C-alpha cells in the first residue's frame, strides 16, 4: 500500500468513536427494510444467506453474500432486502430508539431462504470528521475473498459472531469494541486494495498526493502555499494542482481550509480559547482572515458558532459537519 499508515491515523483518530448500537438479524424471504440517513458509520456483515443493498445515489443494487462486509462511513440512507425492488418497512418500526450501547435482535419470519447478519451503528463526533473522511464513498463492500486476505479483520468478525452466540460475561462490551475495531480494519483493508478505485481512495494510495494530504491533516497550522505543498509532494505546481483536484475532488488550498475550519470548530466547541488563539492554532496570522474564512465555511461567525454549540444538541452539530 502506498498510503503511509500515519495518514490513516490522521483520517480516523479525530472521529472519537463514543458508542455503538448493534443488532443481529435473522430474516426469511420475503423481507425488506429501509433505513434513513443516520449520523454514524454503519456496518452490515452477512453471516449466512444473502441480501441486496440499494442506495438512492447508486447505479444499481449491491449483492451481499455470506462472508461479505458492507461499510457505510456516513450512515447513508439505504434499503436492505432479500432481492431488489422488494417492498420495505421503515427501520424505525423494527428498531425504535437505537441508542448507543444498546444490543438488539431482529427476527423476520417468512417462507423463503434465511439471511443472518450482524449490524452496527458506530456513533462519532461529526464536527471532528476530517474533510478527507467526508469524501469517502457512501458505501464500500469487502467480499469474502478480501476478508480472507485480512486475517485480523476476518478473525475479529468471527470472534464477534461467537461472542454473541456464546453469551459469555462481558460479551456486550466485547462486541462494542469489536465493531469499532472492525470499522478501522475495514478502512485499512480498503486502502490496501487497488481494486477499490474511487478517486479519494486512489488519492490516499498515491505516493505524492498522500504526502501532501498527510501534511495538510497533520500540520495544517503551518503557512502552506500551493507551491510548498507541491514541493512536499515532490511534483511541479501545475501537476500537483491537477492531480490533487482529480483525486480529492477539490483544490489543495480549499482542502487545507476545510481541515483548518474543522479543527477550529472543534476548538470552539470543546475549549474556552480566545478566538485569536484559535486563529493562530489553525494557521491564520490574521484574525480578520480567520473570521471571514470561518463564516464562509459554515455560515456563522466563530462567536455565533460557539454560542450555538452551547445551546444546541449533537444532532445539529452533526448536521453542520456535513455542510
Number of H helices, E strands in the chain: 15, 11
Which fold, 5-199? Jelly Rolls (2.60.120)
Extended beta strands in 56-96, E state: 62-65, 69-72, 78-81, 89-90
**In the chain, what is the straight-line distance between the N-terminal and C-terminal CA atoms, in Å?**
31
Per-residue confidence in pLDDT tens, the chain, 323 aa: 444 447 777 777 767 777 788 899 999 999 999 999 988 999 999 999 999 999 998 889 999 999 999 999 999 999 999 999 999 999 999 999 888 777 889 999 999 999 999 999 998 877 677 778 888 889 999 999 999 999 999 999 988 877 654 456 666 677 778 888 899 899 889 888 877 878 888 898 899 999 999 999 989 999 999 999 999 999 999 999 999 999 998 999 999 999 999 899 989 988 999 999 999 999 999 999 999 999 999 899 999 999 998 876 544 444 344 33
Q: Domain-by-domain residue ranges, the chain? A: 5-199, 211-321
pTM of the entire predicted model = 0.82
Paired residues of 69 in beta bridges: 45, 142
Architecture of domain 211-321: Orthogonal Bundle (1.10)
CA neighbor of 64 nearest in space, from 80, 77, 76: 80
pLDDT at 167: 55
Fold match between domain 5-199 and domain 211-321? no
Residue 140 CA from chain centroid, whole number? 11
Amino acid at each position: 500500500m502506498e498510503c503511509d499508515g500515519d495518514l490513516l491515523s490522521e483520517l480516523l483518530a479525530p472521529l472519537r468513536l463514543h458508542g455503538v448500537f448493534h443488532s443481529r438479524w435473522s430474516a426469511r424471504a420475503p423481507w425488506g427494510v429501509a433505513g434513513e440517513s443516520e449520523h454514524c458509520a454503519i456496518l452490515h456483515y452477512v453471516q449466512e444467506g444473502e441480501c441486496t443493498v440499494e442506495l438512492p445515489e447508486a447505479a444499481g443494487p449491491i449483492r451481499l453474500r455470506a462472508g461479505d462486509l458492507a461499510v457505510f462511513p456516513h450512515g447513508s440512507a439505504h434499503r436492505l432486502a432479500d432481492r431488489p425492488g422488494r417492498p420495505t418497512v421503515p427501520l424505525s418500526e423494527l428498531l425504535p430508539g437505537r441508542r448507543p450501547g444498546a444490543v438488539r435482535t431482529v427476527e423476520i419470519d417468512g417462507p423463503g431462504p434465511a439471511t443472518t447478519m450482524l449490524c452496527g451503528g458506530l456513533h462519532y463526533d461529526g464536527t471532528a470528521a476530517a474533510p478527507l473522511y467526508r469524501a469517502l464513498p457512501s458505501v464500500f463492500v469487502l467480499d469474502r475473498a478480501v476478508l480472507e486476505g485480512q486475517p485480523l479483520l476476518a478473525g475479529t468478525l468471527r470472534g464477534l459472531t461467537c461472542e454473541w452466540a456464546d453469551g459469555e460475561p462481558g460479551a456486550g462490551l466485547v462486541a462494542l469494541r469489536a465493531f469499532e475495531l472492525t470499522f478501522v480494519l475495514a478502512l485499512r483493508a480498503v486502502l490496501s486494495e487497488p481494486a477499490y478505485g474511487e478517486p479519494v481512495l486512489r488519492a490516499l494510495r498515491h505516493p505524492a498526493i498522500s504526502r501532501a494530504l498527510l501534511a495538510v491533516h497533520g500540520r495544517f497550522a503551518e503557512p502552506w502555499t500551493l507551491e510548498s505543498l507541491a514541493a512536499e509532494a515532490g511534483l511541479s505546481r501545475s501537476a500537483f494542482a491537477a492531480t490533487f483536484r482529480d483525486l480529492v475532488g477539490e483544490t489543495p488550498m480549499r482542502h487545507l481550509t476545510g481541515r483548518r475550519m474543522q479543527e477550529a470548530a472543534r476548538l470552539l466547541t470543546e475549549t474556552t480559547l480566545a478566538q485569536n488563539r484559535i486563529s493562530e492554532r489553525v494557521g491564520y496570522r490574521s484574525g480578520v482572515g480567520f473570521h471571514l474564512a470561518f463564516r464562509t465555511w459554515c455560515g456563522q461567525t466563530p462567536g455565533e458558532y460557539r454560542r450555538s454549540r452551547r445551546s444546541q444538541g449533537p444532532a445539529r452539530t452533526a448536521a453542520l459537519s456535513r455542510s
